[in-house]
A and B are shown apart, each in its own frame.
Chain A
Amino acid sequence: MYKTAMLTKDLVAASSKPLLLSILAGGESYGYEIIQKVRELSGGQIEWSDGMLYPVLHRLERDGLIDSEWKEADTGRQRKYYFISSDGRKVLKTERQQWLAVHNTLGKLWKIKPVTI
């Protein structure tokens, strides 16, 4: 049996898109901050490999769902900030519906209160 509730590799990969879009829907952010946020929100259950986050971010950017800009941070160093695009917000809405559909279906099976959008 699993001692800790770490997510499987496939589930981590599948959830990366809605997670990233949801974080960026809350405001612009950069790689390190995103990783910290996911770690904090999931209570350590979702463990992303830091370097592997960037290919995903770049793919989302290529697909036009997010955009980026190099800006000077408080530390004086240049950082690449990502933010959601209008297409990204539309895709996030669809993703949200799909994930909630899965959640509600499983919720019915496990007798958990359903969530409405």
Chain B
Amino acid sequence: MAGRSQHPGQIMENQTRYDLNAAIESWRQELAGQAGLTAEVRRELETHLRDAIAGFQQRGLNDEESFWFARRRVGQPQLLGEEFVKADPSQVWRERVFWMVLACLIVSLWTNIVSCIPLHNWTSGFFGLLSAYAYVLLIYLPVIGLAIFLAKGQLNKRYYALAAIFQSRWRLATSAIVFIVVTHGSQAVMQYRYLIQTDHGRMAHTLDGFWVNVFSYMSWPLMLVVLATWLMPRQNRKTPKRA
């Protein structure tokens, strides 16, 4: 083994210093940088890497050596990415579009929540300007958050943190619809109160317009839910039939 220290004291020192989990995390981030590798493929490759590490450890190799050989066995992340793109280019785009749709949905729902916050009470002067900036910043907060997670390679971790929602298409659709109904419902209640206050005796006509507005507001996020559910990566979304 090239570059391996032969001194027992040094080997022990290396073993105590070597952080296997950190090495796997760094490798995982390298994989996350490959466009051709979907979240599910990365998960599968990580399982393989861990199995290979365990295999080498059983043969008496230390953590560092086991990781080094297992990593080599699995292959270079760039080559793996290229192979997967060659094998199924449509799958890569499907997952990309899924994330785009999901990001649009989050931004759309977030904008709706932010619009309920009475930031615009200060309409002029310095505080007016400040509240306008704060409002814009709040609207773009999920986009900024997504960009930070992507840059740090932590998007996968966040994805697993919400694993329960992504376990099936049905769960994703239900969670999103509940969220839409709650956020839009609360906005509708606020709007309703405002209309009651400013109605001037035209209640029936105003309410017609009110309901049309509520449903039209909901149509865009609902359409995104349908799209996201359809494009959702295959992971765990079905019970396969055995031959």
Q: List A residues at the B interface (Cβ < 8 Å).
A: 30-32, 36, 49-52, 54-56, 58-59, 62, 67-70, 75, 77-80, 83-86, 88-89
B47 to chain A: which residues have CB within 8 Å?
30-32, 77-80
1/0 per residue, CB under 8 A from A, across B64-79: the answer is: 0000000001110001
B106 to chain A, nearest CB (A): 25
Interface contact A89-B243, CB-CB below 8 Å: yes
* Partner pick for A54 among B41, B91, B235, B243, CB 8 A cutoff: B41
SS of B interface (majority): helix
B84 to chain A, nearest CB (A): 5
* Partner pick for A50 among B74, B91, B239, B241, CB 8 A cutoff: B74
Number of A-B residue pairs, CB cutoff 8 Å, is: 76
A70 to chain B: which residues have CB within 8 Å?
235-236
| B44 at interface by CB-CB < 8 Å | yes
Q: List B residues at the A interface (Cβ < 8 Å).
A: 41, 43-45, 47-48, 50-52, 54-55, 73-75, 79-80, 83-84, 86-88, 91, 235-236, 239-243
Interface contact B240-A51, CB-CB below 8 Å: no
Interface centre among A50, A80, A84 (most CB of B within 10 A): A50
B79 to chain A: which residues have CB within 8 Å?
51
Between-chain CB contacts (< 8 Å), 22 pairs: A30-B51, A32-B47, A32-B52, A49-B73, A49-B75, A50-B74, A51-B73, A51-B79, A52-B75, A52-B83, A54-B45, A54-B84, A55-B87, A58-B87, A59-B88, A69-B239, A75-B54, A77-B47, A83-B243, A85-B241, A85-B242, A86-B243
17 new A-B contacts, CB < 8 A, other than A59-B87, A78-B47, are: A30-B51, A31-B51, A32-B48, A32-B51, A32-B52, A36-B55, A49-B73, A50-B52, A50-B73, A50-B74, A51-B74, A54-B44, A56-B87, A62-B88, A77-B50, A80-B43, A85-B242
